[in-house]
Amino acid sequence: MSVSHWSLIEEQRRRLAAEVGTLHKQAPVQIALAYPSPYHVGMSSLGFQTIYRELHLHPQASAERAFLPDDVAALRAARAPLLTYEGERPIAELPVLAFSVAYELELTGVCEMLDLAGLPVLARERDASMPLVIAGGPLTFSNPVPLSPFVDVILMGEAEQLVHELCDLIAGAPAGPGGRALVLDTLAARPGFWVPGHPRGLAPVVARADDERLPARSQIVTPHTELSSMFLIEPERGCSRGCTYCVMRRTTNGGMRTVEPERVLGLVPDHARKVGLVGAAVTDHPRIVPLLRTLVDAGRQVGISSLRADRLSAELVGLLARSGARTLTTASDGASERLRDAIDRKTKEKHLLAAAQLARDAGMRTLKLYLMLGLPGETSADLDELVRFGSELSKIIPLAYGVAPFVAKRNTPMDGAPFAGVNEVEHKLGYLRAALRGRAELRATSARWAWVEYMLSQGDESAGLAAMDAWRAGGSFAAWKRAFKERGATPRGAQRPSDGRLRLPALAAWPTAAP
Ligand code: SF4
């Protein structure tokens, strides 16, 4: 073993030693549970952690985790295989390799990990002697089609129950190619599973887990995550609201499902000093304040993933401040009241003004607002309104915007809406930065990578193949552009949403955006 390979293993061992809650088990169905981003990102994923626990709950299954290496080049230079954490086994040695994919840009991580495992990246080039490769995760709520060339089975939507069905089937299947074919044939006919290219397969349908499986929660707490040593738990799933750009809106799996605070509190381990309440619309939980109060009174530091400005109260913001929060983060999303109305985002200026006041009164230092830029029909008048209103807010409390270019998603009324264009988004960002200088800080995600995300979120298999080509070519933006062009990947832009919910005049003739 080379020195560099040894140091990579040492790093894995250091991380394992720092974890609380790691599971070890011997079982016939052994699954390498892979996250196509580095450890500190993957271990912050509630879905990944929940599926890890569910797999271990199955009487005949066990899971060993693997992550995209922090330093892929070092692993390649060491000519070493990618190892699981728990068993330090090459991931291709386990009979099942399961990916949890959160969003479009992680497709290259899937390609990388398959390649590091010594497996062909394309499913059609693998044979029955190789692991069954499956995938699930948040990406499957919107558009898993670009993922389909790389995997044998996709678990659509909420996978807590689907993984038990899958493990039952694998455990009961005969060994060898016949058993694998039987598993694929059976899954192809079951709702919630998608076997790409199967001649008798069902169309992909997002699954819903039984309420008894809720709440999702951390299995492992570790200091080496984005949310250092925070125990995550989901007091509600889904959302009862109808923002037209959002995959988690009320039409997805029946809207919001809540968990009683008593059950949530009973599942928070004593050792967890930091607790993250995670969900699509946590502050819409009807008993969020008593839940938060109990946690804070117990001396815990608490974060909430989704604060809705119209649900904030002095007590709720005060509790967050008492538990250590220095920034109040919520979303305005549209640049103007007109745009927010158009996307059915119910946040009004009065709610954001109240949020700023509450944050200041609670002694917080900053108000942070998420904002989408480049919505269809957005005009300079909308940006001027943002500048005027941002200036007003900044007189109450220091203000920061987290800006993301708008990317249309499948399974939403805005599916098919075009991307504004890299140049246009950058131009608008430049304008806002100059106009808000000294009054608000703007932190923006890259317009270029948002365009890549758009091409994947609105694309088909050819977009997935382009992701593979771009990864092979080094992953630069130029490589992505070239790959999309050569694969003929075409987004679903210039199509109108079927329910006509978008009401902006400029939508009459959507241009097809180009970078
Ligand atoms: S954006 Fe938030 S509030 Fe709107 S539907 Fe989605 S989860 Fe609900």
pLDDT range class, residue 356, cuts 50, 70, 90: very high
- Does some domain include residue 321? no
Q: Is 409 in the pocket of ligand 1 (CB under 6 A)?
A: no
Is the predicted pLDDT of residue 312 greater than 50, yes or no? yes
User: What is the average pLDDT score of the chain?
Assistant: 93
Is the predicted pLDDT of residue 199 greater than 60, yes or no? yes
Q: Is 243 in the pocket of ligand 1 (CB under 6 A)?
A: yes
Q: Give the CATH number of the domain where residue 51 resides.
A: 3.40.50.280
Q: What is the pLDDT of residue 510?
A: 32
Is the predicted pLDDT of residue 409 greater than 60, yes or no? yes
Is the predicted pLDDT of residue 513 greater than 80, yes or no? no
Number of separate domains in the chain: 2
Q: Is 311 in the pocket of ligand 1 (CB under 6 A)?
A: no
Among 172, 194, 216, which residue terminates a domain? 194
Window from 92-106, 112-126, 330-344, 497-511 with minimum mean pLDDT: 497-511
Q: Is 331 in the pocket of ligand 1 (CB under 6 A)?
A: no
In this prediction, residues 46-67 reach a mean pLDDT of 98
Rounded to an integer, what distance in angstroms lies between the CA atom of residue 396 and that of residue 355? Answer: 10
pLDDT range class, residue 493, cuts 50, 70, 90: low
Q: What is the pLDDT of residue 345?
A: 92
Nearest CA to ligand 1 atom 7: 280
Q: What is the pLDDT of residue 3?
A: 60
Among 173, 194, 215, which residue terminates a domain? 194
pLDDT range class, residue 1, cuts 50, 70, 90: low
Is the predicted pLDDT of residue 349 greater than 50, yes or no? yes
In this prediction, residues 142-162 reach a mean pLDDT of 97
- Does some domain include residue 82? yes
* Strand boundaries in 113-237, DSSP class E: 132-136, 153-155, 193-194, 230-233, 236-237
- Using the mean position of ligand 1's atoms as its centre, give its distance from the Cα of residue 7 in Å: 44
- Using the mean position of ligand 1's atoms as its centre, give its distance from the Cα of residue 346 in Å: 10
Q: What is the pLDDT of residue 201?
A: 85
- Kindly tell me the sign of the dihedral angle through the C-alpha atoms of 458, 149, 73, 52: positive
- Using the mean position of ligand 1's atoms as its centre, give its distance from the Cα of residue 249 in Å: 6
Q: Which of 142, 240, 241 to mutate to test the pocket of ligand 1 (most atoms within 8 A of CB)?
A: 241
In this prediction, residues 324-345 reach a mean pLDDT of 95
Q: Is 113 in the pocket of ligand 1 (CB under 6 A)?
A: no
Locate the ligand 1 atom nearest the alpha carbon of residue 280 and give its number. Answer: 7
Q: What is the pLDDT of residue 490?
A: 87
Q: Exposed (0-12), middle (13-18) or buried (19+): which is 307, by Cβ within 10 Å?
A: buried
Q: Is 58 in the pocket of ligand 1 (CB under 6 A)?
A: no
Locate the ligand 1 atom nearest the alpha carbon of residue 345 and give its number. Answer: 4
- Does some domain include residue 230? no
Q: What is the pLDDT of residue 226?
A: 82
Among 160, 194, 228, which residue terminates a domain? 194
- Does some domain include residue 245? no
Is the predicted pLDDT of residue 497 greater than 80, yes or no? no
Is the predicted pLDDT of residue 512 greater than 60, yes or no? no
- Does some domain include residue 364? yes
- Does some domain include residue 131? yes
Q: Exposed (0-12), middle (13-18) or buried (19+): which is 500, by Cβ within 10 Å?
A: exposed
Non-local (6+) Cβ contacts of 241 within 8 A are 249, 250, 281, 284, 344, 346
- Using the mean position of ligand 1's atoms as its centre, give its distance from the Cα of residue 110 in Å: 28
pTM: 0.94
- Using the mean position of ligand 1's atoms as its centre, give its distance from the Cα of residue 149 in Å: 31
In this prediction, residues 451-465 reach a mean pLDDT of 97
pLDDT range class, residue 440, cuts 50, 70, 90: very high
- Does some domain include residue 200? no
Q: Is 281 in the pocket of ligand 1 (CB under 6 A)?
A: yes
pLDDT range class, residue 503, cuts 50, 70, 90: very low
Q: In terms of residue numbers, what domain contains 335?
A: 327-458+493-515
Ramachandran angles phi, psi of 146, nearest 5°: -65, -20
Contact 438, 407 (CB under 8 A): no
Q: Is 33 in the pocket of ligand 1 (CB under 6 A)?
A: no
Q: Give the CATH number of the domain where residue 384 resides.
A: 3.30.750.200
Neighbours of 173 (CB within 10 A): 17
Q: Is 364 in the pocket of ligand 1 (CB under 6 A)?
A: no
- Using the mean position of ligand 1's atoms as its centre, give its distance from the Cα of residue 259 in Å: 18
In Å, how far are 199, 402, 501 from 444, measured between CA atoms? 44, 6, 27
Nearest CA to ligand 1 atom 4: 243
- Using the mean position of ligand 1's atoms as its centre, give its distance from the Cα of residue 382 in Å: 21
- Using the mean position of ligand 1's atoms as its centre, give its distance from the Cα of residue 238 in Å: 8
Q: What is the pLDDT of residue 6?
A: 85
- Using the mean position of ligand 1's atoms as its centre, give its distance from the Cα of residue 472 in Å: 36
Locate the ligand 1 atom nearest the alpha carbon of residue 238 and give its number. Answer: 7
- Does some domain include residue 213? no
Q: Is 145 in the pocket of ligand 1 (CB under 6 A)?
A: no
Q: What would the pLDDT profile of 161-178 be if each residue is shown by its tens digit?
A: 999 999 999 999 998 889
